[in-house]
Amino acid sequence: MTTNDAADAADGIAGVMKKAGLVWLSWNGGRPAPAWFATVDGKYVVLADAADSAEQPLPGLATAGAAEVVVPAKPATNRLASWKATVRRLEPDSEEWTAAAQVLRTERLNAAGLDTQLERWKSEADLLVLEPTGEITEAAGRYDATPRAEAPIPTKATTRGKPPITLHRPIRRRKRLS
């Protein structure tokens, strides 16, 4: 890849990432997972929690080394682009980690425990940088036509009984005879 190709790829990725509020990440052949991110000094940073907690569970992403990033369009029924990234973990308490954490903190909606958030992130989560490799796998005019429908993830959630009879039916009033 030439320097011009790399610059064009970086510009293309930056253009679609400005339009995104979240991305879909897949790594190690797993199923894609949604992830909110922040752009910090031209780098794309995600918070990855290895366990199920109040943050963003992305188990195994910190050690994956590489990921595919799919940028959805709005409405999210289509894709704007997808690109390959290397995954790099930021060391807690480094200047880069602190700068990324401050930006992510402002992007995190509905966060609980704001006063302890950064300490919790240091001990329970990883801040990861998604660095574009320059390989754009999908873009305008060249989308993969492979169907991406998958069976839902098994869950313990169930529906308790039959839905109400009046669900989505208009209420009809009786005429009174006088």
Check if the beta carbon of residue 55 is closer than 8 Å to that of residue 111.
no
Check if the beta carbon of residue 9 is closer than 8 Å to that of residue 132.
yes
What is the pLDDT, as a whole number, of residue 65? 93
Q: Which domain holds residue 122?
A: 3-138
In terms of C-beta density within 10 A (0-12 exposed, 13-18 middle, 19 or more buried), how is residue 42 classed? exposed
User: What CA–CA distance (Å, rounded) separates 100 from 102?
Assistant: 5
| Structural domains of the chain, count | 1
CA atoms within 13 A on the CB side of 156: 0
What is the pLDDT, as a whole number, of residue 1? 54
What is the pLDDT, as a whole number, of residue 115? 79
Is 59 a domain residue?
yes
Could you tell me which residues are beta bridge partners of residue 81? 71
CATH classification of the domain holding 28:
2.30.110.10
User: What CA–CA distance (Å, rounded) separates 48 from 59?
Assistant: 7
| 101: nearest Cα among 87, 86, 116 | 116
pTM (two decimals): 0.76
What is the pLDDT, as a whole number, of residue 139? 79
Is 175 a domain residue?
no
Q: Which tokens go with 152?
A: 């839902």
Place of tokens 């039916």: 169
Per-residue pLDDT of the chain (178 residues; tens, 9 = 90+): 566 666 777 888 888 888 888 899 999 988 888 898 999 988 999 999 866 566 788 889 999 999 999 998 876 667 788 999 999 999 998 999 999 999 988 887 667 777 788 888 888 889 999 999 988 888 777 777 777 677 777 767 666 777 666 656 666 777 777 6
Write a three-state SS string for 28-84.
Answer: CCCCCEEEEEEEECCEEEEEEECCCCCCCECCCHHHHCEEEEEEECCCCCCEEEEEE
What is the pLDDT, as a whole number, of residue 86? 95
Is 171 a domain residue?
no
Is 149 a domain residue?
no
Is 147 a domain residue?
no
| 71: nearest Cα among 30, 26, 104 | 26
Is 174 a domain residue?
no
What is the pLDDT, as a whole number, of residue 64? 94
Is 165 a domain residue?
no
Is 170 a domain residue?
no
What is the pLDDT, as a whole number, of residue 8? 77
